[in-house]
Structure 1
Amino acid sequence: MAKVTGLGGVFYVVKDPAKTRRWYAEVLGLTGEYGPQLAWADEPHEAPYSLISHFPDEEYIRPGTGGFMINLRVDDCDSMVEQLKSRGVEIVGHVDEGYGKFAWLLDPDGVKIELWEQVETPDDVSPR
Structure 2
Amino acid sequence: MSRVTRMNHIGVPVSDLARSLRWYEDVLGIAPSGVTISATNPAIGAVVEVENASMRASFALAGDNVLLELIQYDSPRPKPFTGRNCDVGVMHLCFEVDDLDTAHRDLVERGVHVNADPVVLEDGDGVEAGALAGTKILYLRDPDGIQLELFQLLS
* TM-score of the two chains, using structure 2 as the length reference: 0.55
Q: Is the strand fraction higher in 1 or 2?
A: 2
| Aligned counterpart in structure 1 of residue 146 of structure 2, from 100, 111, 117 | 111
Partner of 1:100: 135
Q: Structure 1 stretches of 5 or more lacking a match?
A: 42-57, 121-128
Give the Å deviation of 1:32: 2.5
Query: Residues 21-71 of structure 1, C-alpha deviation per residue, up to 9 Å, x if partnerless?
Result: 111111111112143312339xxxxxxxxxxxxxxxx76x26x9x821111
SS of 1:22's partner is helix
**Aligned-partner Cα distance in 2 for 1:70–1:78:** 19
Give the Å deviation of 1:99: 2.6
Give the Å deviation of 1:3: 6.1
Runs of 4+ in 1 over 3 A off after TM superposition: none
Q: Which amino acid in 1 is paired with 2:64?
A: W
User: What do you get for the CA RMSD once the two structures are aligned?
Assistant: 2.7
Bigger relative contact order (CA 8 A; separation at least 6): 1
* TM-score of the two chains, using structure 1 as the length reference: 0.65
**Aligned-partner Cα distance in 2 for 1:90–1:111:** 11
Residues 115 and 140, structure 2, Cα contact 8 Å, conserved in 1: yes
SS of 1:102's partner is strand
**Aligned-partner Cα distance in 1 for 2:136–2:60:** 22
> Quick one: percent identity of the two aligned structures?
27
Partner of 1:89: 112
Task: Number of aligned residue pairs: give it.
Answer: 100
Partner of 1:4: 5
More divergent stretch after superposition (30-39 vs 76-85)? 30-39
Q: Structure 2 stretches of 5 or more lacking a match?
A: 36-58, 66-82, 122-132
Structure (1 or 2) with the larger CA radius of gyration: 2
